[in-house]
């Protein structure tokens, strides 16, 4: 399944409560949710995480910043883990698209990178999604 990436991150925070349904539908279509890291609570992110658990999808969260964003992948919702080979791919790729390697955490069922360049963030989200599904399919068959 492919991810349709938006052209820019700017303007994603101007949502009113009436837009929650639309944001959730967009997150489900794109397979990731974008949030404002300054918001302590985002009901769309929580609803998207619940939806991921129900349909066993990888949960990808992008906390958008001005120049860099934090990207988090959780496979807990899929009840899956990345293999050692996939973990190595993630460990090699994330520092290449991040401003710094500090803040990169890679575990079998969870990974996060704090300083992913905004020019790369949607591509990284798509790559993580594809990798998670490929690993899940490979391990289930």
Q: What is the DSSP string of 62-102?
A: EE--SSEEEEEEE-GGGT----HHHHHHHHHHHHHSBS-ST
The 10 Å CB-count burial string (b at 16+, else e) for 121-133 is: bbebbbbbbebbb
Please determine, for residue 18, whether its predicted confidence score (pLDDT) is greater than 90.
no
What distance in Å separates the CA atoms of residue 64 and residue 61, rounded to the nearest whole number? 9
Residue 109: inside a domain, yes or no?
Answer: yes
Q: Model confidence over 32-91: pLDDT tens digits?
A: 999 998 888 899 999 999 999 999 999 999 999 999 999 999 999 888 899 999 999 999
Parallel, antiparallel, or unpaired: how do β-strands 105-107 and 59-63 relate? unpaired
pTM for the full predicted model? 0.83
Average pLDDT, stretch 23-39? 92
Over residues 12-21, mean pLDDT: 60
Q: Which two tokens stand for residue 32?
A: 């990731």
Q: Is residue 5 part of a domain?
A: no
CA 124 from centroid of its chain's CA atoms: 8
pLDDT score of 3 more than 60: no
| CATH classification at residue 28 | 3.10.310
Instruction: Report yes or no on 6 lying in a domain.
Output: no
Handedness of CA 133, 121, 123, 18 (dihedral sign): positive
The partner residues of 127 in beta bridges, in order of sequence, read none
Residue 15 scores a pLDDT above 60: no
The total domain count for the chain is 1
Question: Residue 29 belongs to what domain range?
Answer: 17-140
Please report whether residue 52 resides in a domain. yes
2 in a domain, yes or no? no
């Amino acid at each position: 399944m492919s991810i349709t990436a938006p052209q820019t991150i700017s303007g994603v925070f101007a949502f009113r409560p009436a837009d929650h349904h639309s944001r959730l539908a967009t997150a489900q279509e794109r397979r990731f949710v974008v949030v404002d890291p300054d918001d302590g609570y985002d009901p769309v992110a929580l609803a998207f995480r619940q939806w991921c658990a129900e349909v066993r999808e990888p949960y990808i969260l992008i906390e958008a910043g001005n120049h860099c964003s934090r990207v988090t992948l959780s496979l807990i919702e899929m009840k899956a883990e990345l293999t050692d080979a996939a973990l190595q791919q993630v460990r090699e790729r994330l520092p290449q698209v991040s401003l710094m390697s500090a803040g990169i955490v890679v575990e079998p069922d969870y990974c996060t990178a704090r300083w992913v360049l905004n020019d790369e963030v949607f591509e990284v989200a798509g790559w993580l999604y594809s990798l998670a599904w490929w690993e899940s399919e490979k391990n289930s068959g």
